[in-house]
Amino acid sequence: MLDHLEEKNSGVVLTVLGPIPTKELGVVLIHETLLSVYPGAEYAPEITIDKSEIFDRLKQQMLDFRRAGGKTIIDNSGMFHGRDIKLYETLSKTTGVHIVASTGLGPELMLSGYFVTPQKNPPTPWSAEQFSALFAKEVTEGIAVPRIERSSSAGIVTSIASQTGITEKETSLFRGSAQAAMATGVPVSVQYGADAVAELEILLGVGIAPGRVIIGGLDRLDAVERKDAFAVARHGAYVALDHVGWATNEGYVNDEQRVQLIVELFNQGLGDRVLISTNAVGVAKGHKAKDISYDYLLTKFVPMLHRAGLTDEQVRILLEENPQRVLTVDASAEQKVTGWNFEWDKLYQPATY
């Protein structure tokens, strides 16, 4: 407990506006998406991408969240699903909401040719080590703004496994994500595929501490039935019940059942491993997204937690202490944030003739 306190006092979290003291995070939504673009949709003539409109819609939802008492949103969309770091910087400045951006890729279906069929013979898909190096640089040197610059650091590494079962390429992604997180001190957050515990073990297999791992999607029907949340928490990893507001017809338990699950986790002494979020998409392009806003959790779900008997302190643990602890950069990690120092020559390779 003492080291937790110490982390809390001296630690930092990497936001899109730079490192900030952990204690400034306030109430955190640990698993959300700001702009989500199905990879390639930006090239489709039927998709319009109007940044001013996207900005307005995100801004409104973030202000609603802030008004409800929220302070920080984690964008978990990874590096290749619409992430617009410059837009997020402006949004954070405009709304006062802290944003932590993510690096990472997945599931396999969302991977592009560069990672799956590289231009060499044979076209061996990327290894965990290759993914790890790519992701780690987005933490230490900053998020890639394609072919222009590096921006602020990613504060979390994220991935997703296929619900039909984690694939070979996703196993490389998971391992690479965990390696990058371990090397840089940020947490790794995944949505499990079919077997949460086995996939947690894949992550732990690279040597990362369980307390640096978030397993998401554990409020999915099959996971709740298997009591995966308890098993994951007993491993010491974080349990993300990150589909608050979702329901059985979408494959998740409903909010009443979710509340019961949280109560039960606290009763078993696992409350300090639980995270909650809504997996909302602020603006979706090229795909459908559930209609839920960032303020739902605070305005609708938290009152349900209180009615179920959770104390203010327990709610604070869920919304503040747990996410703050897991997001705090492990200062003992080997690779430090150096940032990109705006010497263009260091960023660009010479063109060959």
* Minimum CB–partner distance for residue 164 and another protein (Å): 16
Would you give the end-to-end CA distance of the chain in angstroms? 59
Question: Token pair for residue 126?
Answer: 């990327």
Residue from 147, 288, 312, 343 in contact with another protein (CB under 8 A): 147
Task: List residues bridging with 150 in a β-sheet.
Answer: 144
Exactly one of 111, 161, 190, 274 binds another protein (CB under 8 A); that residue is 111
How far apart are the C-alpha atoms of 110 and 342, rounded to whole Å?
31
Question: Residue 51: which residues within 8 A CB-CB, separation 6 or more?
Answer: 84, 87
Q: Nearer Cβ to another protein, position 177 or 314?
A: 177
Which of 57, 71, 80, 211 lies at the binding interface for another protein (CB under 8 A)? Answer: 80
Cα–Cα nearest to 173, from 161, 155, 181: 161
Please report whether residue 127 would count as binding another protein according to CB under 8 A.
no
Whether the Cβ atoms of residue 216 and residue 242 lie closer than 8 Å to each other: yes
Burial 112-131 (b: 16+ CB within 10 A, else e): eeebeeeeeeeeebbebeeb
Instruction: Decide if residue 341 touches another protein (CB under 8 A).
Output: no
Q: How, if at all, do strands 72-75 and 28-37 pair?
A: parallel
- Out of 2, 52, 113, 288, point to the residue binding another protein (CB under 8 A): 113
- Smallest gap from residue 135 Cβ to another protein (A): 10
User: What 3-state class would DSSP assign to 121?
Assistant: coil
Residue 38: count other Cβ atoms within 10 Å of its Cβ: 16
> Is 79 a residue that touches another protein (CB under 8 A)?
yes
44 near another protein, judged by CB under 8 A: yes
Using CB under 8 A as the binding rule, whether residue 353 contacts another protein is answered as: yes
Footprint of another protein on 250-289 (CB under 8 A): 286
CB of 151 to another protein, least distance (A): 12
Size of the site for another protein (CB under 8 A): 38
- Note whether 117 binds another protein by CB under 8 A: yes
Q: Is 39 in the site for another protein (CB under 8 A)?
A: yes
DSSP H or E run through 86: helix 85-95
Nearer to another protein, 152 or 278 (CB): 152
Piece of the chain touching another protein by CB under 8 A; list 27-35, 110-118, 238-246, 295-303: 110-118
Task: Give the contacts of 38 (CB within 8 A, at least 6 positions apart).
Answer: 81, 82, 285, 286, 287
Q: Record the tokens describing residue 271, joined without a space.
A: 């409350």
291: left (phi over 0), alpha (psi -120 to 50) or beta: beta
Of 11, 16, 12, 10, give the one whose Cα is nearest residue 34: 16
Binding another protein (rule: CB under 8 A), the pick from 74, 100, 144, 240 is 144
Binder of another protein out of 45, 168, 225, 341 (CB under 8 A): 45
Near another protein by CB under 8 A, which window of 42-50, 159-167, 241-249, 295-303?
A: 42-50
Q: Which of 1, 207, 291, 350 binds another protein (CB under 8 A)?
A: 350
Instruction: Kindly identify the residues of this chain, within the stretch 299-338, that bind another protein according to CB under 8 A.
Output: none
Please give the helix or strand (H or E) that residue 170 lies within, else none. helix 168-184
Name the minimum Å distance from CB 307 to another protein.
42
Please tell me whether residue 118 binds another protein under the rule CB under 8 A: yes
Compare residues 96 and 114 and give the one whose CB is closer to another protein: 114
Q: Hey, CA dihedral for 254, 259, 261, 262, is it positive or negative?
A: positive
Task: Select from 52, 121, 249, 267 the one that contacts another protein (CB under 8 A).
Answer: 121
Q: Report residue 13: phi and psi, to 5°.
A: -120, 145
Could you tell me which stretch among 10-18, 32-40, 61-69, 174-182 binds another protein (CB under 8 A)? 32-40
Task: For residue 237, give both structure tokens.
Answer: 């990893």
The three-class DSSP label of residue 110 is helix
Which residues bind to another protein, rule: CB under 8 A?
Answer: 38-41, 43-45, 79-80, 109-121, 123, 134, 137, 144, 146-147, 150, 286, 344, 347-353
